[in-house]
Structures are given as C-alpha cells and as structure tokens.
C-alpha cells in the first residue's frame, strides 16, 4: 500500500478501514484532526442539516414560510439584508405544476395543456405516485 499501484490494488481494504475509522468520529472533530495533520479538508454541509447551523441562524438566513400543504417551517432566504426588505420570501413555495396553465397561457399554448397532461408531459403529481 506504499505506492499508488499498491493502493489501487488494495482499494477495497483501504475503503473498509477508512469507513470503520471515520464511522467512529464526529464529522467536525474529524475535519479538524485531518486539517491539523495537513490534509486539506472541511465538513460537508448537507443542505437538510443547514437549518441547524447556529451561524446561519444567527445571520437570519432562514425565513418562516406558512405553506398551505406542508405547514409552517423555515426556508432559506437570501444571504443579504437591506433595511427596507423585511423578508425575501413573500409567498409560499409553489406546488408541483401549480402554475402550468398560467405559463402555457402566457406563451400562447393554453390549448395544449390537456394533451400535455394526457401524455404525461406535465402534471401536478410525481410520476408513479
């Protein structure tokens, strides 16, 4: 395992050992330990976990949304602030296909909507649900 060729030949064993070693550690501690050892690294910020990041919350990145389907929850806003803008998100996120008819009408294709739905090209549900 001391050469690139040796590491390629033993990649499954190396992956298994790394997975076991990494699995026992906190991601932030691991990133700090690797960085302190000279390995350029940082913890990956998974989008679903960003809402728990104290720095992002302190900087008021998230705004409360009152959605008619999903209820009240926090959603990301813009990372800048202006004194005259109290919030960036002024209406709930659209649902799948919510504005299809309006957009087609705007571009002169309102008559195409039934055919597009019939052929499964557009709709308001995820295919197979």
CB contact at 8 A, 93 and 67: yes
Tell me 3's DSSP state: S
Residue 81 has pLDDT above 80, yes or no: yes
> How far is residue 37's CA from residue 74's CA, in Å, rounded to a whole number?
37
> How far is residue 55's CA from residue 35's CA, in Å, rounded to a whole number?
21
The stretch 88-109 carries a mean pLDDT of 93
The stretch 63-79 carries a mean pLDDT of 91
Tokens of 104: 């087609």
The confidence band for 39, taking pLDDT boundaries of 50, 70 and 90, is very high
Residue 16 has pLDDT above 90, yes or no: yes
């Amino acid at each position: 395992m001391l050469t690139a060729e040796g590491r390629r030949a033993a990649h499954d064993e190396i992956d298994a050992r790394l997975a076991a070693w990494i699995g026992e550690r906190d991601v932030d501690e691991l990133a700090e330990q690797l960085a302190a050892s000279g390995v350029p690294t940082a913890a990956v910020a998974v989008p679903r976990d960003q809402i728990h990041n104290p720095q992002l919350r302190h900087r008021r990145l998230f705004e409360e949304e009152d959605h008619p389907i999903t209820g009240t929850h926090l959603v990301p806003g813009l990372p800048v602030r202006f004194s005259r803008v109290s919030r960036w998100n002024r209406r709930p996120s659209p649902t799948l296909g919510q504005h299809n008819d309006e957009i087609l009408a705007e571009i002169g294709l309102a008559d195409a909507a039934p055919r597009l739905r019939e052929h499964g090209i557009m709709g308001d549900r995820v295919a197979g649900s």
